[in-house]
Amino acid sequence: MSTYDFPQDLRDAQLALHETRAAYEQYATTLPWSAAPMPGWEADKQLHSTYRSGKPDSPGYSAEQAAEVARYQAELLRLSTVVSTHPYWSTLDSGVVTARMALKHAHETGDEAA
């Protein structure tokens, strides 16, 4: 397995991206199923199944919820841009994809080399 000497600012940006994504996904679970107000629905029962899919009415996002979603999305875009355009990637002759995958898990080991 290859080891990489990722710069600390790149490691920090990747960890912030991971944490922000997790926080956004957690926040999204509290939101209505539709950003805009939409009526609920219930589908017909499927043949040979007791499952019947459906959704309740959605009130849509409040102004505060929409603003928070936009804030998360902007921060995720900013962090992903920082990580993907970091000058470190141009120092590698090959194996950028493998190095990128190693960076995604570098915080799990706590080691300087992933």
User: Would you place residue 2 in the very low, low, confident or very high pLDDT band (cuts 50, 70, 90)?
Assistant: low
C-alpha separations of 113 from 4, 5, 42 in Å: 5, 6, 52
Q: What is the pLDDT of residues 84-99, one digit of tens each?
A: 999 999 999 999 999 9
CA distance 19 to 14: 9
Q: How many CB atoms lie within 10 A of CB 50?
A: 6
User: Would you place residue 110 in the very low, low, confident or very high pLDDT band (cuts 50, 70, 90)?
Assistant: low
